[in-house]
């Protein structure tokens, strides 16, 4: 069965900051790339992951995991033989994830979401079942958002979905060129309130 949250966590060694401290430090160092000062709320996480069919998920990819706010709930829900690949451009966050999450199903990768196809290919996968994005699409450098959306659509299997949470509804502009079926919801219990989208690949 799915690994319990305690099994997926490592007791924080002395000198390793709490997730909230680490996230805030990351924001101070790279405000544009991190795009937020507070990690996602539990309510947002539950709503975003609600539609995932965990029994048919062998590869889950997360873009912009930060300090792992979503990684732990994903690992709690994932099957024992599934894999979570978390991709972040911030080397400090990747080191933090490696130091604080111990789970054989988990791989933290320093890189860009735009390279998702290469990153999963190097790890033996053709396609991802689900891809989750916490990226600040509206503040990414010009051209990066459209490139990530196109690469994501290509990397998903038919029937899979792109899960996106964002503070601005403008993120939908990146999805519309690729996804015909897009579900939407709001989560007010988050700082700031978030727009949630699920783009289903036919
Ligand atoms: C809003 S923060 C993530 C919040 C976190 N997922 C949560 O739920 O609290 C955005 C993250 O995206 C990462 N990021 C920015 N551009 C990226 C890119 N092109 N590829 C992968 N990660 C990126 C940043 O380093 C940062 O960790």
Residue 100 beta carbon below 6 angstroms from any ligand 1 atom: no
Res 5 pLDDT > 90: no
pLDDT tens digit sequence for 8-55: 555 666 678 888 888 788 888 887 777 677 889 999 999 999 999 999
Residue 68 beta carbon below 6 angstroms from any ligand 1 atom: no
pLDDT tens digit sequence for 111-148: 999 999 999 999 999 999 999 999 998 888 999 999 99
Res 100 pLDDT > 70: yes
The backbone torsions φ and ψ at residue 133, rounded to the nearest 5 degrees and listed phi first, read -120, 125
**Spacing of C-alpha 81 from chain mean position:** 19
Ligand 1 nearest atom to the CA of residue 113, by list position = 20
- Give the mutation target among 18, 19, 28, 33 for probing the ligand 1 site: most ligand atoms within 8 A of CB: 33
The pLDDT score that the predictor gives to residue 29 is 84
Residue 134 beta carbon below 6 angstroms from any ligand 1 atom: yes
CA–CA dist 101, 117 (Å, integer): 24
CA–CA dist 167, 82 (Å, integer): 30
Q: What is the mean pLDDT of residues 85-93?
A: 96
Q: Which fold has domain 40-200?
A: Rossmann fold (3.40.50)
89 — pLDDT class (breaks 50, 70, 90): very high
The pLDDT score that the predictor gives to residue 23 is 78
Ligand 1 centroid distance, CA of 128 (Å): 19
CA–CA dist 5, 14 (Å, integer): 20
Residue 152 beta carbon below 6 angstroms from any ligand 1 atom: no
Res 163 pLDDT > 60: yes
- Residue 145's nearest CA partner among 133, 128, 154 is 133
Residue closest by Cα to atom 14 of ligand 1: 64
Q: List the domain boundaries for the chain.
A: 40-200
């Amino acid at each position: 069965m799915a690994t319990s949250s305690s099994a997926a966590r490592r007791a924080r060694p002395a000198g390793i900051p709490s997730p909230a401290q680490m996230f805030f430090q990351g924001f101070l160092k790279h405000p544009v790339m991190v795009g937020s000062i507070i990690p996602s709320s539990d309510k947002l996480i539950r709503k975003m992951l609600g539609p995932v069919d965990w029994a048919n998920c062998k590869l889950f990819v997360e873009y912009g995991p930060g300090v792992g706010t979503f990684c732990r709930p994903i690992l709690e829900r994932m099957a024992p033989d599934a894999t979570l690949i978390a991709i972040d451009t911030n080397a400090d966050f990747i080191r933090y994830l490696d130091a604080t999450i111990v789970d054989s199903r988990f791989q933290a990768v320093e890189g860009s979401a735009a390279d998702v196809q290469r990153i999963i290919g190097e790890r033996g996968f053709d396609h991802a079942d689900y891809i989750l994005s916490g990226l600040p699409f509206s503040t990414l450098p010009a051209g990066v958002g459209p490139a990530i959306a196109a690469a994501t659509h290509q990397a998903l299997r038919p029937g899979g979905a792109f899960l996106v949470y964002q503070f601005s509804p403008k993120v939908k502009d990146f999805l519309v060129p690729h996804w015909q079926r897009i579900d939407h919801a709001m989560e007010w219990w988050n700082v700031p309130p978030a727009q949630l989208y699920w783009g289903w690949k036919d």
